[in-house]
Structure 1
């Protein structure tokens, strides 16, 4: 599969909004994408940032992806600095101790015997789904995943991603934009943006629908029906459809907190065609795949352009809680109430 990468421009960062005081929202629990799958090859070890700490992500010989805390429990070497993959094991660069997927010592370094390492390597629950490598963060270090991100295939089976962009914001703020109807009309210029019914919160998911008239490259001006589902605060999946023309665009926005009030944002997209639709039925499969890849590339640029006006806002705004909501804002209060479940130890002011 061919992949295209685009670097999103975050805009000028005028100030660190919470550089001199504590940020109003802590790190949330849930699943967060560390890196796109394409960026970790077999045998490769890669260092990522997650909530103020390093995490090493590696792919074994069989293709299995794993994530672990980077420091060897023997004498503290960083596995992302010279560590290597040996079959299904990750090997410390310092004394060549090898660890299995559960973090246990599978092989001692040369010249060692007995059991010199009593504590295993810290591992994180890790899943590869929808073109990304996600790690689970619970309320406690040993808390197992309380839910899972479903596979969005086949509609998201071949997602193309932008490059990762770091912004001075929080995952909750990024997802809040999706229900902030007022900013869609004012900042993005879609005056007919509307939600035909109230959002549906269901455990860690939050689903809502909307209709908007907008221009899609290669398809022209379209009245698009969209359904958006939030999977925790780390993944937003939007489906835009024009059944009359027989196409669908999947849009994914992944938000990973890398430091206090710093979030890494990645956009993924794919356009697919209904091959039973008269417009596409006569085309061979290769032609629809080629057209879909070209349309995906163009529309990924369009999605990036759509999101770009939000970057300077996120980089400089402050979080207001409770918010001073006005008629026409959209269900911001309901969204924030739903989001509180991802801060099990935090008392949050009830939204207005």
Structure 2
């Protein structure tokens, strides 16, 4: 028996269904969150991956945020690798050409003379809202057709964020909101249902949820969540638990970094309802301090809920058409709404 070798067969990992890069859904148009606002101080330059390409974000000394394509039009240097901010300009690390907030060349590098070249940086439409930095991705347009409104309650805590690295697609993440069947089965809610039918209006899709979930050692908590999707790049969900005077705002912002792989930013803000006992006897500044201290704990709880979805997202295929059953929720109607965010000249999803 000495000639025999014992081989241990370890558990094999499931294959990632779209690891080859071929994906059934293209990248959607719309607003995409690139980073939380707190990650970019005045003078900072940051690179982010977006749909297989780099973009560079910088904050001017006056505090304005700009998002540009990364390569200097002069000789192709990457502005995210050594580029720096001088006043309101970003300066190329190679020849020190400076570009203004509009992307035009503001000045040439040392030793250069003559007229300024016409070609500047490609500037992407960007906005800073809900404590996040967003860029518009899609077919070039003279004007961005819609915007994400400011949704945070000033009485609540400033959002805290974490990021999940997932092998999935923004449409698949958002589909979980209408898929109430998985909320009961996977997340252990004793009850979850749509309080009213979802409503789609242009680029928004609103879903009111009513839920009951175990909350040891306090028993079951009943609450309602009003969820609104803004395209396929941003979800705002406001949950109210009247029994304990708690309001939690959850923001989900998937960024497609390459085919079928996203970075999902998860943000949480907490508000202690000032009209609820015993909070109605406390000053607002004290309530906000308590909410701020409670925000990291609530962020961990929200992330823990999402972790249950991660192995499913990472290994599932996009079922098209789906074989739906009673109790699934309006998945077909949701997919029909999502079609509008795919360019007309590219093959979009079917329902």
When the two structures are superposed, what TM-score results if normalisation uses the length of structure 2?
A: 0.91
Once the two structures are TM-superposed, the CA of residue 114 in structure 1 deviates from its matched residue by: 2.4
Partner of 1:167: 166
In structure 1, what is the Cα distance between the partners aligned to 2:217 and 2:230?
Answer: 30
Q: Residues of 2 paired with 1:68 and 1:218: CA distance?
A: 50
Q: Is the 8 A contact 1:60 1:85 kept in 2?
A: yes
- d(CA) in 2 for partners of 1:323, 1:214: 28
Indicate yes or no: 2:213 matched with 1:250.
Answer: no
RMSD: 2.0
**Alpha carbons 1:160, 1:297 under 8 Å: kept:** no
Q: CA distance change for structure 1 residues 29 and 218 in 2, over 3 Å: closer, same or farther?
A: farther
Task: Give CA deviations for 1:134-157 in whole Å, capped at 9, x if unaligned.
Answer: 0001223x5532100000132596
Contact 1:98 1:106 survives alignment (8 Å)? yes
Unaligned runs of 5+ in 2: 1-11
Distance 2:115 2:74 in 1: 11
Matching residue of 1:327: 326
Alpha-carbon distance between aligned partners in 2 of 1:196 and 1:311, rounded to the nearest angstrom: 26
Q: CA deviation at 1:196?
A: 2.2
Separation in structure 2 between the aligned mates of residue 247 and residue 218 of structure 1, nearest angstrom:
17
- Where does structure 1 lack aligned partners over 5 or more consecutive residues? 1-11
Structure 2 residue aligned with 1:232: 231
Aligned to 1:213: 212
1:54 CA drift (Å):
0.6
Task: Tell me how far 1:116 sits from its aligned partner.
Answer: 5.3
Aligned to 2:3: none
Which of these two proteins has the greater Rg computed from alpha carbons? 2
**Compared with structure 1, are the counterparts of its residues 329 and 156 closer, same or farther at alpha carbon in structure 2 (3 Å cutoff)?**
farther
CA distance in 1, matches of 2:311, 2:226: 26
Residues 158 and 279 (structure 1), Cα distance of their counterparts in 2 relative to 1, 3 Å cut: closer
Report if aligned partners of 1:216, 1:299 keep a CA contact under 8 Å in 2: no
1:203-244 deviation line (CA, Å, top 9, x unaligned): 111001011112568976320011000011111111111335
1:115 aligns with 2:143: no
Listed as ranges, the matches of 1:1-352 within 5 Å are 14-20=14-20, 22-115=22-115, 117-140=117-140, 142=141, 144-154=143-153, 158-215=157-214, 221-345=220-344, 346-348=346-348, 350-351=350-351
Deviation at 1:343, TM superposition (A): 0.6
CA displacement at 1:281 relative to structure 2: 1.5
TM-score scaled by structure 1?
0.91
